[in-house]
Amino acid sequence: MPNSRKIKIAAIQTVSGPDVAANLEAAGRLIAEAAAAGARLVALPEFFVLISGDETAKVRLREEEGHGPIQDFLAGAARQHGVWIVGGTVPLAAASPDKVRNTSLVFDDHGERVARYDKIHLFGFQKGEEFYDEGRSIEAGDDVVVFDSPAGKVGLSVCYDLRFPELFRAMGMVDLIVLPAAFVHTTGQAHWEVLLRARAIENQCYLLAPAQGGRHPHGRRTWGHSMVIDPWGEVIACREEEGLGVVVAELDFDRLAEVRQSLPALRHRRLAW
């Protein structure tokens, strides 16, 4: 656990479109805003660099691990602003030539990459004419990822992972879960906040959820409501409106310890998978 008992963390909300340069410019401005507000760890949403009606666009944009302009941007921003960055998700090369890995990359405040998580659960949904099947263009990951940071022990997850509590249990005892997302408006309106609060409550940790939020150029609408939740399940910061923005909140290690001491549910577990 860090020496300081409190640390500021930030969730960035974007409404990304097909223009990669414009998306990176917006992300850069918001990272700078979060850093200026005192955040030490900043998280971007899922596919902050590209959301397009063309499913093959992300495949054409994919980068090899450790090389490429998107990864250079994240490393440079972390180094420039002296913050840890959870790079939402980035399309990285997959085994299949027509797919990507939907990858969350973490860079420390020196611009060094310290963690990689490939989204495990791939979203599928159909209701009327609204249809999504991420498996058509994304290759699923397999590994649970936890890393040490100024915000304590951090577990990584992405969007649809939120519906699978066994993933979060497999992280062990973490201080913070980061969940970059692009929840569609339909499912986000119904389930986003309640699932985020449930994951924070049952794992007795903070949860940082940066999201896409608004109407995208090709017509897709994402729910937004980027937020930070404390270990008691209270929403301590949230962007209620659509559009670009930054949500900053304080992670308090004394609060974390208090919740776990008063209700030691993690120690009371009897079953493990």
Question: Known catalytic residue: 205?
Answer: no
Task: Name 109's Cβ contacts closer than 8 Å, sequence gap at least 6.
Answer: 40, 78, 79, 82, 83, 84
Give the integer Cα–Cα distance in Å for 146 and 158: 13
Element (H, E) at 101: strand 100-107
Q: What is the identity of the amino acid at 43?
A: A
Question: Known catalytic residue: 127?
Answer: no
Task: Name 267's Cβ contacts closer than 8 Å, sequence gap at least 6.
Answer: none
Q: Which of 160, 161, 156, 211 is nearest to 181 (CA)?
A: 211
Among candidate residues 33, 58, 119, 139, the one labeled active-site is 119
Among candidate residues 58, 99, 134, 159, the one labeled active-site is 159
Neighbour tally for 202: CB within 10 Å: 14
Phi/psi of residue 227, nearest 5 degrees: -155, 165
Task: Name 118's Cβ contacts closer than 8 Å, sequence gap at least 6.
Answer: 92, 101, 102, 103, 104, 139, 140, 141, 142, 143
Element (H, E) at 165: helix 165-170
Among candidate residues 8, 33, 46, 205, the one labeled active-site is 46
Give the integer Cα–Cα distance in Å for 64 and 67: 6
Give the integer Cα–Cα distance in Å for 97 and 101: 11
Give the integer Cα–Cα distance in Å for 45 and 27: 10
Active centre residues (catalytic): 46, 119, 159
